Amino acid sequence: MATPSRKTSTPSSLASKRALPRDPSSEVPSKRKSSAPPAPPPLPLQSSRPFVEGSIVRIVMENFLTYDVCEVSPGPHLNMIIGANGTGKSSIVCAICLGLAGKPAFMGRADKVGFFVKRGCSKGMVEIELFRNSGNLTITREIDVAKNQSSWFINKKPTTQKVVEEQVAALNIQVGNLCQFLPQDKVGEFAKLSKIELLEATEKSIGPPEMHRYHCELKNFREKEKQLETSCKEKTEYLEKMIQRNERYKQDVERFYERKRHLDLIEMLEAKRPWVEYENVRQEYEEVKLARDRVKEEVRKLKEGQIPMTRRIEEIERQRHSLEARIKEKATDIKETSQKCKQKQDIIERKDKQIEELQQALTVKQNEEHDRQRRISNTRKMIEDLQNELKTAENCENLQPQIDAITNDLRRIQDEKVSCEGEVIDKRGEKETLEKEKKSVGDNIVRFDNLMNQKEDKLRQRYRDTYDAVLWLRNNRDKFKQRVCEPIMLTINMKDNKNAKYIENHISSNDLRAFVFESQEDMEVFLKEIRDNKKLRVNAVIAPKSSYADKAPSRSLNDLKQYGFFSYLRELFDAPDPVMSFLCCHYHIHEVPVGTERTREKIERVIQETRLKQMYTAEEKYVVKTSFYSNKVISSNTSLKVAQFLTVTVDLEQRRHLEEQLKEINRKLQAVEAGLIALYERNKHLEHKDNELRQKKKELLERKTKKRQLEQKISSKLGSLKMMEQDTCNLEEEERKASTKIKEINVQKAKLVTELTNFVKICTSLHIQKVDLILQNTTVISEKNKLESDYMAASSQLRLTEQHFIELDESRQRLLQKCKELMKRARQVCNLGAEQTVPQEYQTAFQDLPNTLDEIDALLTEERSRASCFTGLNPTVVEEYTKREEEIEQLTEELKIKKVELDKYRENISQVKERWLNPLKELVEKINEKFSNFFSSMQCAGEVDLHTENEEDYDKYGIRIRVKFRSSTQLHELTPHHQSGGERSVSTMLYLMALQELNRCPFRVVDEINQGMDPINERRVFEMVVNTACKENTSQYFFITPKLLQNLPYSEKMTVLFVYNGPHMLEPNRWNLKAFQRRRRRITFTQPQ
């Protein structure tokens, strides 16, 4: 039974319907949590539920693919799982595979087990209960999405996947074998199985357990047999070749050993020669060593003679250091005494400065008193003069009327100035407004120029000669009589950039970069200068004398709008009149319409009804011609190229309007500036007149207030005089105070001079003592220099003797090193270690050889000459000869072992082949019998045989399926390409049915294999499945399909499982099949007869 989900958005419910009576409790869906798997039901009885060993008793899913919680209880025979696509039928198949330790790749859906957990859930669970006579086996797999890992349980106890796989394999369950487990996404792969793969799957599915093992052993034995046969053959051939080769080189080996005797003597002479050299060098070393010891004794005596002299020099050096220390002490005392003298001198100078400051202060006060007396005299004189002037001043006349008149004039001029300044402010505001307008218009012109520059850059990059000609034309327009237009691509301005592709595809690139002239004479002048003189490759065209620019089209655009045309080419852009006239005349742009995608959809009708010669759709150009011979209409279309040059639009008319607007603004600015200058002049004149009147008014006011001013000045001067007379100073008292202070300072100064004299005497005494010490130090240094000179002479003799000693020592070391090298070389020649003595064999051999180098060298030369007579001998020949002798012996032994091993393998192959091939042939014959019967019942033919090309190639054995569905054809091998999809499905299904009764596997799963069959074959196959799978003692069978034909035969032993899904499903706790059946019976009984 299945439990519906709480959510309505995913397929979630499954109900079970059985013909046999069932336990009422099994008809009620169970609701459980995913945190713990449910307890397994009681063990079924074999008599009431004839499950075979390993059959599936129960399937539980939680958060698995489409299911929240679901439990399925299949029957022991045929289980039909039916439901619409997407409801969750294949989810049950996936649960069986994954629950029995199958890999996700077996289903062909996903490669990670975490993808099988329901979306939005972190964990999922699958539980499979398998029937066993000894007690059911419950396998639980909990899947963790985040870790993409599984936890395994057997009968509620944690375990590992390996243990689960072993338990499943012990029950002969093979979810990876397509003959036993055929999921929906693997149905097509069954027909793709090769004969070899089909044989292996069949062996594993229905053969005895040892059959596939025998087959694998045979393949391994055969492979080993081939390797041994090849190895024996190669070793035999190689052995014969080596024996023949050794016979050819036997004489050369004998001559080689003769030569070797001479070489051995040479080797012994060369071994003794280093020992003789070593002995000669050793004797020389002993002589040098004696001479070095004598010189060493001489060096020792010279060094002992230098010791008293060294001690005296050190004593004098200590005395010199003592004198220099005393000299430094005297210098420090002199410095300190000198600093004290300097301090006293500084104090005396400060006292002199104090006396000078007192004298200066007294002088300042004397000068101030003299100055006060002079100012008093001057003030009295000024008061007298002012009083005289006041007496002689005339009576003040009446000046007020004149002052009032001037005031009125000033007020009138001030009003005029305010008015003038207001006009200036207005003019300035107008000027600022015009300047802003001028800047805005200038920016717009610059923007247009930048767009024009973009077009010119494209022209320069693509057609450099044409660009250079444009620059020349702009500088030489005065040479032409009539109008000359720049290249057409520069003068054309698209109204909409999207339409540029039509113009560029319609006008040739040569004409797009052509200059347009109104006069033939002007064009000749231009071409002569540009082509002949400047060698530039440019194009030039001449506009028609009568303008075509405004020529009307032959058909109104309104007549063409029904076909999707929205404009003629001429209306898509603006251009100068000569350019437009040239394009209308030569390219008929006023006659070529432009359409949309709707035009392309109606193109056949457009061509037939409009008789247009050229037209454009959204992305294509159509050219229509009438055959000269057959008078048939021929049309051709080409795809439009992307526009490159005309995508930049410059509205020249707007630019000309902006230039005129700029000229008008400049004219207005000039007028405003002229008005401002006039206002400035008027304001300047008013300012001058205002200043004159103010000066005049000032003079009148001064005359009016002069007497009052004189009286005020006299009063002020009298007050100043009184203050100056009161501010008196007693010069005699000040002089007396200054004299007293100066006397006190002189007394202090005399005391300081006495102290300074004492310090000078002390400093002089210290200088005398310092000079005496310096003279003593000079005497000591002189004595030291003499001793150092004598010491240097003795040292020179010592150095020469030491140098001789060093040379002798170096010679000794060199000879010692040479002795060591010769000893090392001699030991190397004799292959001796550092601690080994010369072997007895070498000593015995050396006694019979010469003892001098000359004799050894002479004998070496003689033996080398004799050895050189044996030419053409290669030492590698002897080595190879000896090596081959050993190898021949070794190969002979190996060949014997290999042959014994080969015979053993052949005997094993014979035994295993007999145990494998005979049962296999019987098994294939049984499969063929049932397969042929199934096909015969469908009025078709089919056979299964054991196929191999070579009886000994056991890895090439395979099962071949051959079928024919029509009487007129021959039997053809089942392949993915020869038969149709339905025929392959029928063949696959019948092969699996042929295996059903022979099968030793506990269950088989086939998912939606009937989808490609026609109704007749589907009905026949269904009948066979029911008859075969519902027999006694057959294994469990799962048949999954989304639909079935009507009126199919059913068996009492079948179990039909319906999978439902939808938003109105019942909750799990409300699912009760018994209640549904009672309700249905009541409805049936209450219906009217």
Residue with more model confidence, 1060 or 1: 1060
Average pLDDT on 812-826 reads 81
Residue 177 and residue 172: Cα distance in Å, rounded?
11
The pair of structure tokens assigned to 425 is 């402010």
**N-to-C CA span, the chain:** 36
C-alpha distances out from residue 821 to 266, 288, 829, 846, Å: 22, 18, 12, 20
**Least trusted range by pLDDT, from 54-63, 422-431, 445-454:** 445-454
Cβ atoms 988, 1012 nearer than 8 A? no
Question: 393 Cβ partners below 8 Å, 6+ apart?
Answer: 706, 707, 710
Ranked by mean pLDDT, the top range of 7-16, 436-445, 600-609, 852-861 is 600-609
Length, in residues, of the chain: 1089
Residue with more model confidence, 347 or 721: 347
The per-residue pLDDT of the chain, averaged, comes to 79
pLDDT band at 42 (very low <50, low <70, confident <90, very high): very low
Residue 45 has pLDDT above 50, yes or no: no
Residue 963 and residue 978: Cα distance in Å, rounded?
11
Average pLDDT on 590-615 reads 89
Residue 772 and residue 346: Cα distance in Å, rounded?
31
Backbone angles phi, psi at 854, to 5 degrees: -65, -45
User: Could you please report the per-residue DSSP string of 746-786?
Assistant: HHHHHHHHHHHHHHHHHHHHHHHHHHHHHHHHHHHHHHHHH
Average pLDDT on 271-298 reads 82
The pair of structure tokens assigned to 1003 is 């269950």
Residue 485 and residue 642: Cα distance in Å, rounded?
26
pLDDT band at 468 (very low <50, low <70, confident <90, very high): very high
Residue 567 has pLDDT above 80, yes or no: yes
The whole-number pLDDT of residue 677 equals: 87
Count the Cβ atoms, other than its own, within 10 Å of residue 280: 13
Spell out the long-range contacts of 695-699 with Cβ–Cβ below 8 A and sequence spacing 24 or more.
696/406, 697/403, 697/406, 697/407, 697/410
DSSP assignment letter at 530:
I
Average pLDDT on 52-61 reads 90
pLDDT per residue as tens digits for the range 1016-1026 = 777 877 877 78
pLDDT band at 480 (very low <50, low <70, confident <90, very high): very high
The whole-number pLDDT of residue 996 equals: 59
Ranked by mean pLDDT, the top range of 53-57, 345-349, 759-763, 1046-1050 is 53-57
pLDDT band at 995 (very low <50, low <70, confident <90, very high): low
Residue 980 and residue 238: Cα distance in Å, rounded?
57
Percent of the chain with pLDDT strictly greater than 90: 9
**Least trusted range by pLDDT, from 392-396, 647-651, 758-762:** 392-396
Strand 123-130 and strand 1055-1060: pairing? unpaired
pLDDT band at 58 (very low <50, low <70, confident <90, very high): very high
Beta bridge partners of 130: 56, 137
Residues 1053, 1058, 1063: CA angle, nearest 5 degrees:
165
Residue 991 has pLDDT above 90, yes or no: no
Residue with more model confidence, 536 or 277: 536
The whole-number pLDDT of residue 318 equals: 86
The whole-number pLDDT of residue 27 equals: 35
Residue 187 has pLDDT above 70, yes or no: no
Residue with more model confidence, 600 or 279: 600
pLDDT band at 993 (very low <50, low <70, confident <90, very high): low
Residue 485 and residue 477: Cα distance in Å, rounded?
10
The whole-number pLDDT of residue 47 equals: 37
Question: 239 Cβ partners below 8 Å, 6+ apart?
Answer: 888, 891, 892, 895
User: Could you please report the per-residue DSSP string of 984-1024?
Assistant: HHHHHHHHHHHHHTT--SSEEEEESGGGGS-HHHHHHHHHH
Strand 514-517 and strand 539-542: pairing? parallel
The whole-number pLDDT of residue 31 equals: 33
User: Could you please report the per-residue DSSP string of 563-596?
Assistant: GT--EEGGGGEE--HHHHHHHHHHH-TTT-EE--
The pair of structure tokens assigned to 122 is 């972190």
Cβ atoms 206, 865 nearer than 8 A? no
The whole-number pLDDT of residue 1011 equals: 64
The whole-number pLDDT of residue 515 equals: 95
Residue 201 has pLDDT above 80, yes or no: no
pLDDT per residue as tens digits for the range 131-186 = 988 889 999 999 988 888 889 999 988 999 888 888 888 888 877 776 677 776 55
